[in-house]
Structure 1
Amino acid sequence: MGPVEFIVLAFPEEQLRVPAVEAVMGLRKTGNVRLIDGLVVTKTAAGEVLAAEFDEFVELSGLLTHREAARLIGPEDVRESADLLERGSCALLVLVEHVWAEDAAIAVRAAGGRIAGSVRIPADRLGVA
């Protein structure tokens, strides 16, 4: 298995927009990453936090039906992610495996090594909008 990453994709409204949903659906199609788990988290205008499985949304239904799917995103992840959201917004929480790095990870482990860590560098730190 390649490196796994938990990503919070936040949006400024309580409802998901079609382009965001299409982007997540595209993750599976490219084969570069494997979608392991996912949730939709909403922070209402009143501050209430709601979490829903992908299958509760027609647009996301079936994304996690493959054999690798697991329920690994838990209540603590939902709470921490909700802290990143403004009231009246939502987020897609996704757990992805970087399939493109799987061969390197296998070779590292076969040599007695391990992936000791990784850091995501935000686009704004790289001067990319």
Structure 2
Amino acid sequence: MTWGPLEFLVLTFPGEAPGREAVGALAGLRRDGEVQVVDSLLVAKGADGAVSSTELADVPHLSETVAGRDAQNNLIGSEDAEEIGETLEPGSCALAVLVEHTWAKNAAEAVRQAGGQLAASVHIAPENVPGEGS
């Protein structure tokens, strides 16, 4: 399978799991076809510091919200979960999501067919854009 541009996102939340409402925006992007959720993982750090991870598809109240049926690729591994867990505060969780930017897939394919490749990709936080967030 040929993928379009992929992005790995880690969203953190207080508590054991994000609520359905907290991930509604991602779910909307998936439903609208702007992104495809390639893989997802919920990582939680208990109050005792123990880290656990679960495929989002296995979390009943969230499985269809973000993951849908298409996010079963197992590309987010145990090493990723461990690294994410190290950054979490006790009693919090993270939603790790690998998304394909389907809106750019056709453009990416045209670039590849022309012998081109993505040389750089930089995300700029809104607070770093003059006039935004200030």
- Amino acid across the alignment from 2:9: I
Question: Which deviates more from structure 2 when the two are superposed, residues 27-36 or residues 56-65?
Answer: 56-65
Matches within 5 A, 1:72-83: 72-83=75-86
Task: Report the aligned-residue RMSD.
Answer: 1.9
Question: Which deviates more from structure 2 when the two are superposed, residues 56-65 or residues 41-50?
Answer: 56-65
- Amino acid across the alignment from 2:39: D
Shift of 1:64: 4.2
- Amino acid across the alignment from 1:118: S
Question: Which deviates more from structure 2 when the two are superposed, residues 113-122 or residues 98-107?
Answer: 113-122
Q: State TM-score, norm by structure 1.
A: 0.86
**Could you tell me whether the CA contact under 8 Å between 1:33 and 1:98 is conserved in 2?**
yes
**Could you tell me whether the CA contact under 8 Å between 2:43 and 2:54 is conserved in 1?**
yes
- Amino acid across the alignment from 2:117: R
Aligned-partner Cα distance in 1 for 2:115–2:90:
47
* Structure 1 gap ranges (5+): none
Q: State TM-score, norm by structure 2.
A: 0.83
Per-residue Cα deviation, 1:65-121 (whole angstroms, up to 9, x for no partner) = 23x741100011111112221111001110000111112111111110111232222
Out of 94, 101, 121, the position equivalent to 1:118 is 121
> Hey, which bits of structure 1, 4+ residues long, moved more than 4 A?
none
CA 1:18–1:102: 2 relative to 1, 3 Å: same
Counterpart check, 1:17 vs 2:19: yes
